A and B are shown apart, each in its own frame.
Chain A
């Protein structure tokens, strides 16, 4: 069955960097885009970024553009989220999610999600 595991979260100071990983199993990884979605404590969901199945295209939320970079290594079934210049507003649980559509150039629909990794930005 589809399984996604996020890792790399932790407590960091404002201005720091952190790299999250999302390792997948149970499906043909290089056929599907992967999204990152975050949730601040007690708040709603915020879509963050997506990378297409082949890694050739990426899309970002305005709030993270220029600070975060999404990438993937299909040989390792892993997607990364490099987060730079972190601020308190970046605190939250970060989920990765598999796209529902096979080899779609414009990804849509997050059908399977990991359990999330917590990022806390605090001095």
Chain B
């Protein structure tokens, strides 16, 4: 199985900050990574798929990049509604796996 390691586990930025979350895979894969946002008590929301494709309706301040074993989710200017937990997920090899999550909490 592919292991996904997210870093950091916790972030405490301010509104307007640029935020970067990293997802490292245990083996190389390209084009098979997604990013999700989850708020407390709510279902996850797809933000990015295929490493860098923005899901319909997601604000352009969210972007995904990376290749091989290292991928990043960037929020260019953090908004109040962006405080949430973020997860990466891979579909390169089944079973699919998630990263452990990154909690972004307001400073």
A47, A61, A95, A116: residue with the most chain B Cβ atoms closer than 10 Å: A47
Any B CB within 8 A of the CB of A44: yes
- B43 close to A116 (CB less than 8 A): yes
Report the minimum CB–CB distance from B25 to chain A (whole Å).
15
- B46 close to A45 (CB less than 8 A): no
Complexed CA–CA distance, A97 and B36 (Å): 13
Summarize A's interface: helix, strand, loop or mixed: strand
Any A CB within 8 A of the CB of B98: yes
- A113 close to B95 (CB less than 8 A): no
Chain A residues touching B, range: 20 to 34
B46's nearest neighbour on chain A, judged by CB, is A111
B48's nearest neighbour on chain A, judged by CB, is A109
Any A CB within 8 A of the CB of B97: yes
Complexed CA–CA distance, A46 and B1 (Å): 13
In the complex, chain A residues whose CB is within 8 Å of the CB of B94:
59, 106
Between-chain CB contacts (< 8 Å), 8 pairs: A44-B99, A45-B36, A45-B38, A45-B98, A47-B95, A59-B94, A115-B42, A115-B43
